[in-house]
């Protein structure tokens, strides 16, 4: 089935996947389904074809609209089953990837997956974003910070921007509420040092509703007392 994924990646995103990369995606899908059934609740999306489109191709869409530098440090916040971080790392082996996830069972899956797929130089962070944002080796260290389906944007930017270096970018993968969320996040962006550069529309084959990538530039350092303590951003958005 990965031939279909490769064809779509080339056709839609001008992204060429080698035979080895296609094999990695096939193994990824198999591991995801196996663990999802027996060990951890990783995804509500099941079936190889749906996984290829709604997880893998959706993740790879980032590379079609964002110029991710060679060797960039990229962190995936609230990665869950590894999306979008692991597909990006498969397609771009040069990326230095960190996967941030608060649930220990999901981290165990990601560590297993990295071994099976022979993904070297991947960092696993079993922590909440509010905690990671204050760790000296994580704060304002990343060229690219990505998140998919983690939180409403006024909340999410408090998770993402503290991790991005000055001049870096945050990418929030969103649904139909993207423009409304951007408007409502204006105050949080101002406080935290971010500015929305643009919103890109992504249309996936066999998916009726478009997806949106909200691309945020880090234009100023985030004040040191952000992010606030775990749970506070969700309870009291900026």
Structure tokens at 28: 């990824």
178 assigned ligand-binding residue: no
DSSP state of 163: G
- The total of structural domains in the chain comes to 1
158 assigned ligand-binding residue: no
Q: Is residue 6 a part of any domain in this protein?
A: no
Give the mean model confidence (pLDDT) for residues 34-40: 76
DSSP state of 125: E
What pLDDT was estimated at residue 37?
A: 76
For residue 192, the domain's CATH number is: 3.40.50.150
For the chain, the average pLDDT equals 94
The structure's pTM equals: 0.95
Q: Is residue 12 a part of any domain in this protein?
A: no
185 assigned ligand-binding residue: no
135-183: per-residue pLDDT in tens? 999 999 999 999 998 899 999 999 999 999 999 999 999 999 999 999 9
Residue 155 vs residues 130, 142, 190, 201, 232: alpha-carbon distances, Å: 11, 19, 13, 22, 9
Closest CA to 65 of 230, 161, 238, 203: 203
The domain of 109 spans 69-235
**Which 3-state string (H, E, C) describes 23-81?**
HHHHHHHHHHHHHHHHCCCCCCCCCHHHHHHHHHHHHHCHHHHCCCCCCCEEEEECCCC
Q: Is residue 138 a part of any domain in this protein?
A: yes
Q: Is residue 55 a part of any domain in this protein?
A: no
Q: Is residue 3 a part of any domain in this protein?
A: no
Give the mean model confidence (pLDDT) for residues 111-137: 96
69-97: per-residue pLDDT in tens? 999 999 999 999 999 999 999 999 999 99
Q: Name the pLDDT band for 34 (thresholds 50, 70, 90).
A: confident
102 assigned ligand-binding residue: yes
129 assigned ligand-binding residue: yes
Q: Is residue 35 a part of any domain in this protein?
A: no
172 assigned ligand-binding residue: no
Q: Is residue 4 a part of any domain in this protein?
A: no
Q: How far is CA 103 from the centre of its chain?
A: 16
Q: Is residue 41 a part of any domain in this protein?
A: no
Residue with the two structure tokens 């905690």: 131
Least confident of 122-126, 166-170, 203-207, 217-221: 203-207
């Amino acid at each position: 089935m990965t031939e279909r994924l490769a064809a779509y990646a080339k056709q839609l995103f001008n992204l060429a996947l080698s035979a080895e990369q296609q094999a990695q995606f096939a193994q990824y899908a198999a591991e995801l389904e196996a663990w999802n059934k027996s060990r951890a609740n990783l995804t509500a999306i099941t079936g190889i074809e749906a996984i290829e489109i709604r997880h893998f191709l959706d993740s790879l869409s980032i590379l079609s609209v964002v110029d991710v530098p060679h060797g960039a440090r990229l962190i995936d916040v609230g990665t869950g089953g590894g999306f979008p971080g692991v597909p990006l790392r498969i397609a771009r082996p040069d990326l230095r990837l960190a996967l941030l996830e608060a649930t220990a069972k999901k981290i165990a899956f990601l560590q297993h997956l990295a071994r099976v797929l022979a993904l070297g130089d991947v960092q696993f962070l079993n922590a909440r974003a509010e905690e990671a944002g204050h760790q000296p080796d994580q704060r304002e260290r990343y060229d690219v910070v990505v998140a998919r389906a983690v939180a409403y944007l006024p909340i999410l930017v408090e998770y993402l921007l503290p991790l991005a270096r000055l001049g870096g970018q945050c990418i929030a993968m969103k649904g139909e509420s993207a423009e409304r969320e951007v408007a409502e996040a204006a105050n949080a962006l101002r406080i935290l040092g971010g500015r929305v550069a643009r919103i890109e529309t992504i249309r996936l084959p066999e998916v009726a509703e478009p997806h949106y990538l909200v691309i945020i530039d880090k234009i100023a350092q985030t004040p040191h007392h952000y992010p606030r303590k775990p749970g506070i951003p969700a309870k009291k958005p900026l």
